[in-house]
Chain A
Amino acid sequence: MRNGHHLVGRLAALAVVAILAAACTGSGSSSPTPGGTIELHALFMKQAAYSDTDVQNMTKAFTDAHPNIKIVPDFVAYESLHDKTVTDQVGGQGSYDLVLIDTPWPAEFAKAGIVQDITDKIPADFKSGIFDSAWTAATYNGRIYGVPWINDTKFFYYNKQMLTAAGITSAPKTWDDVLAAARAVKAKGLVQYPLVWSWKQVEAVICDWTELAGAMGGADFIDANGNAKFNTGGGLAALKFMKQTLDEGLSNPASLGFIEDDVNATMSAGQAAMALNWTYGYSVMNDTSKSKVAGQIMVVPAPGQGTTTSAGVNGGMSIAVTKSSKHPDEALQYALALASEQSQEMDTANAFPMWKASFDKADVTKANPDFFAAAKVQFDHLVARPIVPYYSKLSSALQVAIQNALAGKMSPEDALNGVASKLPDLQK
């Protein structure tokens, strides 16, 4: 027994020495920037719009004008963007000066003290010149937490050859038209499942559902008092519609595991006639090296329903300056440069500019005038996912509920009511 104590004591003594040794060599990781150069770390998303190359081009214009600033960009997949941001910024000691944020996040990030309120630092011409919907994507409680950078929504794509073969000559204007077209395509045996969606248990399914809800009675999912409204009206109608298309064999059941890229691939393979997707889908599905139906894929504003002419989910993203940034002014300058009219007009193949004026410039729109026209219509009809501090949890709960309903495990009513009843717990 006495020996046992000795052993433990000796072990502890040796361990302490070892820790001290390790601790002494472990410190001193902060690296001062040489020669007055300012280094800004920015977290971006890996995507087609804007791509790494686009970001580099936009950045080059900025760093040419500000040679003392160096930009270090990081690109992560959308799926990890939110989580990386939160975990990096925890405790105000994050490594990023700028982070890209999605429409529903300003509330959560503002409350968590991750992003800075920049309401009073936005130049007036930015406020008036950029689409209102783009500002929605950066605003919470009337305060602005990001500089809009990408204005996007899900457009309606269809395979013209297939619809024509099914006897449909004009693009669907309502979701009822879509149903009718899908039934016609199916009846002709042109394709097994005319519709394909991104309904995987990730944010993608919320985007499709929100867009449908916007057309089918509104997507104001949470009222001003924090009560659930998604389980009635547009939210419920949209879910019932989604389920109906599955039951009728019009929607590809694999949609429950698909994200946007899978939708592009399915359309490109000629295995679906109609789909919703973001702006970049147009060039992917019409790219001869990736698509078997290149040239056949048309794009129009997303359908409406009843009195709604069109509704699109607000897919805008903005660039926020973090609270942990040591150079917030320079960071803001950089964000504004990325959002400038000039930067925004650099690549219009995969993303539309956010500036209203750009849509009237012939040299900008000439690449695809029809698409620009469709976009101008739809950008006036955007609906946003709820901008609430507990959005991540709400979204996760809704993803599961929607999938439960789609898989037939629950009725649409029960599924959405279940989330509504859990709302107080999510808001905690």
Chain B
Amino acid sequence: MASVVSPGATAEGPRLGVRRTRASVRARRLLRAAFLYAAMVVALVVVLAPFAWLLISSVAAPVDLLERPLRWIPAHVGFDRFSALTVGASPDDTSLGFRAALVNSSLVATTVTVVSMIVGTLAAYAFARLRFPGRGWLILAFMATYMLPPIALVVPLYQIMSTLGLRDTPLALMIIYSSFVTPFVIWIMRGYIDSISPELDDAARVDGCSRLGALWRVIVPVAAPGLLSTALLAFLLAWDEFLYALIMTQTNASKTLPIAITDFIGRHGVDFGLLATGGVIAAIPPVLIAFVFQRYIVAGLTAGSVKG
């Protein structure tokens, strides 16, 4: 390269060095960018591919799914499974069960969210704003219940619900779910309320508001985004629950979606497409919520984890 030795070689030296360094820096930057973009593409593919396969399976004809080698793009595509499970006329037993489960899941998750948000926010306010003896222990007690494994409670809960005649009712699920969603609400809402200046509600109380009034007129409006985050997470928690539902539910009267879909396994070992369809429908509400309200969800999750 440097074949011409000129009198100015010594003077050129450093400049050449700089140029080389710049070139290598640019090369390294390019390499780094290439690596980062490659990593990002890989991450995107890994995140999306299973979803894609679930979607494809739900619309592919049964014989297409049994091909070997596998056809990634099905030859026959149809949405008949979706209509059969949801709106189609003359539903069979499976569809009836699935529709009942859709209603049950919506009912249970919504009720649990509302109840837990109300009682949880009240308690969170007390823990954040009021000073009273036994406060520390109570907080600990609530948190401990959240950590308890469900398997430790199912056996006696099952017996109690049977005795009360509540087994196989959505009410039993609402009661049980509220018991673990509420501590979660307290946990996160306490953090939000802590971050609001106490002067705000002090001011409200000077204006004649009661504590409840202060909570309603000051805290709730200010913490609205936090309330939304928490409510969405509470809904997802209730929507997702499996173990209690597995044990407490018996018939279409109370089965929730996770149970209704797993019922497909025994009954439709061959038509994986129907399983996929049930899965897609059950995933739509939480996935949509997470996607649309992403900022709130992330904020809620962060709030929940940052408060060590």
- A residues near B (Cβ < 8 Å) are 1, 3-4, 7-8, 26-27, 29-30, 46-47, 52, 74-80, 84, 87-88, 90-91, 93, 95, 259-262, 264-265, 268-269, 271, 284, 289-290, 292
Residue B133 lies at the interface, judged by CB distance under 8 Å to chain A: yes
Those 3 A-B pairs whose CB atoms lie nearest each other, nearest first: A261-B269, A77-B266, A4-B133
A90 and B68: CB pair below 8 A? no
B162 and A52: CB pair below 8 A? no
Determine the residue in chain A with the shortest Cβ distance to B247.
Answer: A87
A91 CB contacts on chain B under 8 angstroms? 162
The CA of A84 and the CA of B266, in the complex, are separated in Å by 15
Determine the residue in chain B with the shortest Cβ distance to A77.
Answer: B266
Residue among B168, B267, B268 with most chain A CB within 10 A? B267
Select which of B132, B165, B265 is within 8 A of A3 by beta carbon.
B132
B133 and A265: CB pair below 8 A? no
A84 CB contacts on chain B under 8 angstroms? 250
A7 and B63: CB pair below 8 A? no
The CA of A264 and the CA of B265, in the complex, are separated in Å by 14
The CA of A277 and the CA of B95, in the complex, are separated in Å by 27
The CA of A80 and the CA of B267, in the complex, are separated in Å by 11
A8 and B93: CB pair below 8 A? no
Determine the residue in chain A with the shortest Cβ distance to B262.
Answer: A77
B68 and A269: CB pair below 8 A? yes
B263 CB contacts on chain A under 8 angstroms? 46, 76-77
B133 and A1: CB pair below 8 A? yes
B270 and A26: CB pair below 8 A? no
Select which of A74, A264, A290 is within 8 A of B62 by beta carbon.
A290
Select which of A8, A80, A88, A265 is within 8 A of B269 by beta carbon.
A265
Residue B16 lies at the interface, judged by CB distance under 8 Å to chain A: no
B162 CB contacts on chain A under 8 angstroms? 90-91, 93
Residue B134 lies at the interface, judged by CB distance under 8 Å to chain A: yes
The CA of A238 and the CA of B270, in the complex, are separated in Å by 28
Whole-angstrom distance between the Cβ of B258 and the nearest chain A Cβ? 14
A7 and B165: CB pair below 8 A? no
Residue B66 lies at the interface, judged by CB distance under 8 Å to chain A: yes
Given contacts A79-B266, A84-B250, A265-B270, contact A3 B133 (CB under 8 A): yes
B92 and A26: CB pair below 8 A? no
Select which of A79, A80, A268 is within 8 A of B66 by beta carbon.
A268
B134 and A8: CB pair below 8 A? yes
A87 and B164: CB pair below 8 A? no
B265 CB contacts on chain A under 8 angstroms? 77
Interface size class of B (residues with CB under 8 A): 20 to 34
B247 CB contacts on chain A under 8 angstroms? 87
Residue B145 lies at the interface, judged by CB distance under 8 Å to chain A: no
Whole-angstrom distance between the Cβ of B128 and the nearest chain A Cβ? 17
Residue B210 lies at the interface, judged by CB distance under 8 Å to chain A: no
Select which of B63, B68, B158, B251 is within 8 A of A271 by beta carbon.
B68
The CA of A126 and the CA of B66, in the complex, are separated in Å by 44
The CA of A84 and the CA of B263, in the complex, are separated in Å by 13
Select which of A7, A80, A271 is within 8 A of B132 by beta carbon.
A7
A265 and B132: CB pair below 8 A? no
B269 and A262: CB pair below 8 A? yes
Determine the residue in chain A with the shortest Cβ distance to B259.
Answer: A80
Residue among B62, B134, B263, B266 with most chain A CB within 10 A? B266
The CA of A27 and the CA of B171, in the complex, are separated in Å by 13
The CA of A3 and the CA of B133, in the complex, are separated in Å by 7
- A sample of 17 more A-B contacts (CB under 8 A), given A26-B164, A52-B92, A74-B250, is A3-B133, A7-B132, A46-B93, A46-B267, A74-B251, A76-B263, A77-B263, A87-B158, A95-B168, A259-B269, A260-B269, A261-B269, A265-B270, A271-B68, A284-B270, A289-B62, A290-B270
B133 and A264: CB pair below 8 A? no
B63 and A290: CB pair below 8 A? yes
B267 CB contacts on chain A under 8 angstroms? 46-47, 77
The CA of A76 and the CA of B270, in the complex, are separated in Å by 17
A88 and B250: CB pair below 8 A? yes
A-contact 0/1 string along B237-276, CB 8 Å cutoff: 0000000000100110000000000010111111000000
A262 CB contacts on chain B under 8 angstroms? 269
Select which of A1, A78, A88, A93 is within 8 A of B266 by beta carbon.
A78
Determine the residue in chain B with the shortest Cβ distance to A47.
Answer: B267
Residue B218 lies at the interface, judged by CB distance under 8 Å to chain A: no
The CA of A228 and the CA of B104, in the complex, are separated in Å by 47
The CA of A84 and the CA of B250, in the complex, are separated in Å by 7
The CA of A46 and the CA of B94, in the complex, are separated in Å by 10
Determine the residue in chain A with the shortest Cβ distance to B62.
Answer: A290
A292 and B92: CB pair below 8 A? no
Determine the residue in chain A with the shortest Cβ distance to B165.
Answer: A29
A52 and B66: CB pair below 8 A? no
Select which of A27, A30, A74, A264 is within 8 A of B270 by beta carbon.
A264
29 pairs from A and B in contact (CB 8 Å cutoff): A1-B133, A3-B133, A4-B133, A8-B134, A26-B165, A26-B166, A27-B165, A46-B93, A46-B266, A46-B267, A47-B267, A52-B92, A74-B250, A77-B263, A77-B265, A79-B266, A91-B162, A261-B269, A264-B270, A265-B66, A265-B269, A268-B270, A269-B66, A271-B68, A289-B63, A290-B62, A290-B63, A292-B63, A292-B66
B132 and A261: CB pair below 8 A? no
Residue among A77, A78, A268, A284 with most chain B CB within 10 A? A77
Whole-angstrom distance between the Cβ of A8 and the nearest chain B Cβ? 7
A76 CB contacts on chain B under 8 angstroms? 263
Residue among A1, A75, A78, A284 with most chain B CB within 10 A? A75
Interface hits, B143-178 → A, CB 8 Å: 158, 162, 164-166, 168
B270 and A261: CB pair below 8 A? yes
B132 CB contacts on chain A under 8 angstroms? 3, 7
Determine the residue in chain B with the shortest Cβ distance to A56.
Answer: B93
The CA of A109 and the CA of B257, in the complex, are separated in Å by 31
Determine the residue in chain A with the shortest Cβ distance to B166.
Answer: A26
A30 CB contacts on chain B under 8 angstroms? 165
Whole-angstrom distance between the Cβ of B137 and the nearest chain A Cβ? 9
The CA of A93 and the CA of B134, in the complex, are separated in Å by 42
Determine the residue in chain B with the shortest Cβ distance to A269.
Answer: B66
Determine the residue in chain A with the shortest Cβ distance to B252.
Answer: A74
Interface hits, B261-293 → A, CB 8 Å: 263, 265-270
The CA of A243 and the CA of B256, in the complex, are separated in Å by 41
Residue among A46, A52, A290 with most chain B CB within 10 A? A46
